[in-house]
Structure 1
Amino acid sequence: MKKKHELRTYAAPVALFTASLFTIPDNSPLNRIKVRDAVQSGFPGFRTHMDDGLWAVPAAGAYALHLAGVKGRNDLLNTTLLFLKSQLFTEILVEPLKYTTRVLRPDSSTRNSFPSGHTARAFAVATCFHREFGDKSIWYSIGGYTIASATGLLRIMNNRHWITDVLGGAAIGIVSAQLAYGTHRYRWGKRPVQLSCMPVWFADSGKQLMFVINW
């Protein structure tokens, strides 16, 4: 049963990454150049900076829900740690790929197009949001992934990324969030996070407070 759950967990990113490969051949109906040309002809001169912050909206939503008394699968501190870990895994996976593949952006500005970092971050956040609140209502999951998808779409409309980059970024984002949950010690050991505070004395700066988080 556990093995089936793990397979389902990674089915979506595998499908997305496979789809990204199908956008490369010239004869593909979703060829990246054809998609770019169609979008640019449909929305000539389109520009927005909304995608720079839209990806983080589900994370803000998680805090709002906690404040409103809607409890997720974890307490607020663990939720925060999981969001941060997912972003760390995202950067670890995205940045090396950007500078090894050296794909030229559709606007010809730089050679770091693949994968889309904005989209990867958006889908990592959306997946964390889904893991925390998806059991409460499917609409939380739908909302999170809709925002993530909108982020990727805006990257294409802004002519900053190919559809290949967006699909690949989405796959990486989902994997990053799943890695964050799979490696989280609280998830394994079910130990509560402990936050302690103690006074310490430093010879050069005097008395200070030290905060220690154990998880």
Structure 2
Amino acid sequence: MIDYRKQIVFYCLLVLLFVMPVTSFAQIQLEQPSDSSSGSHFFKKIPYKELAVPVGLITYGIVAKGNPFLKGIDEDIRDGVSRGKSGKIKLDDFTRFAGTAGVFVLDAVGVPAKHNLKQRLFTTAVSNIIMTSTVKIMKSTIPVWRPDSSANNSFPSGHAATAFVGAELLWQEYRQESIWYGIAGYAVAAGTGYLRMHNDKHWFSDIAMGAGVGILSTKIAYWLLPLVDSRLQNSKKSYVVLPTYNGRQFCLNASLQF
């Protein structure tokens, strides 16, 4: 049986995990000479109202693991959408990367992104580092059996977290061109979450938690971008991004030459 109090403690640690990198970067910037657009106004520029959705999803995911009513909702949703072994659809292994791939593909085919390639590489890398480390820590410290009982690491959904990182990246980069790019990204991310439940791999609360972590990780990456932007623009390092396919998954590999 899951200890509800331990989850609350972990939630507090999770908040610190997100806040500490932001605070550290801001402190470094404040200690250095800077122009009027950096450092001292960092925290004032953060749109804290944007925290409402990801923090709400994260809170729901945490609370659902200790609340009998919300556990019942997990069970009801599973009964309604899961098709077990006979009806599995394995597209979720690919759709989770669709949003992140779109951030680079759309610009390459002529739809201008809000930020240049270096900036997009930074936000993509940082958001995925934060998301992946958070998901791995949670999976190893909060044991939850998958609906199909195949493993004890159901919480949160890594597929959903990855998909919602991509969705938020699309929203941040292309909403000035059309909000439909972001809407499409979120639709694909939601579909990825649905498929994880359809394939009997995750509970609804796992999906909610993964979505919250993914969205918040990406927002933090964009909040950090102004603190390193001048260094990115002045950098003379070469870089390359290559798509790869290993027979099961599509991936994007980035390489920097110093």
Which interval holds the TM-score relative to the shorter structure? 0.7 to 0.9
Distance 1:188 1:63, change over 3 A: closer
Q: 1:132 aligns with which of 165, 170, 173?
A: 173
Residue type matched to 2:164 in 1? F
Aligned length: 198
Residue type matched to 2:79 in 1? D
Cα RMSD after superposing both structures: 2.5
| Cα deviation, residue 101, structure 1 | 0.5
1:22-44 deviation line (CA, Å, top 9, x unaligned): 6443334962112112223xx46
**TM-score normalised to the size of structure 2?**
0.69
**2:60 and 2:190 mapped to 1: Cα distance?**
15
* Structure 1 position 32 matched with structure 2 position 86: no
SS at match of 2:257: strand
Greater gyration radius: 1
* Structure 1 position 211 matched with structure 2 position 257: yes
| Cα deviation, residue 17, structure 1 | 2.1
Residue type matched to 2:77 in 1? V
Q: Which runs of 5 or more residues in structure 1 are unaligned?
A: 198-209
8 A Cα contact 2:106 2:112, kept in partner: yes
**TM-score normalised to the size of structure 1?**
0.82
Aligned to 1:98: 139
Aligned to 2:17: none
Q: Between 63-72 and 28-37, report the one with greater CA deviation.
A: 28-37
1:83-129 deviation line (CA, Å, top 9, x unaligned): 12211111111101001101111111111110000100111111111
Aligned to 1:59: 100
**2:113 and 2:146 mapped to 1: Cα distance?**
38
Q: 1:162 aligns with which of 203, 220, 230?
A: 203
Residue type matched to 2:57 in 1? L
**2:139 and 2:71 mapped to 1: Cα distance?**
25
**1:4 and 1:32 mapped to 2: Cα distance?**
38
8 A Cα contact 1:116 1:169, kept in partner: yes
* Structure 1 position 182 matched with structure 2 position 223: yes
Residue type matched to 2:55 in 1? V
**1:9 and 1:187 mapped to 2: Cα distance?**
22
| Cα deviation, residue 54, structure 1 | 0.4
Q: Between 64-73 and 21-30, report the one with greater CA deviation.
A: 21-30
**Which of the pair is proportionally richer in helix?**
2
**1:21 and 1:89 mapped to 2: Cα distance?**
18
* Structure 1 position 82 matched with structure 2 position 128: no
* Structure 1 position 9 matched with structure 2 position 9: no
1:150-201 deviation line (CA, Å, top 9, x unaligned): 111100000000001000000000111112112235665485253346xxxx
Give aligned-pair identity as a percent. Answer: 32
Aligned to 2:156: 115
Q: Which runs of 5 or more residues in structure 2 are unaligned?
A: 1-42, 239-255
* Structure 1 position 153 matched with structure 2 position 165: no
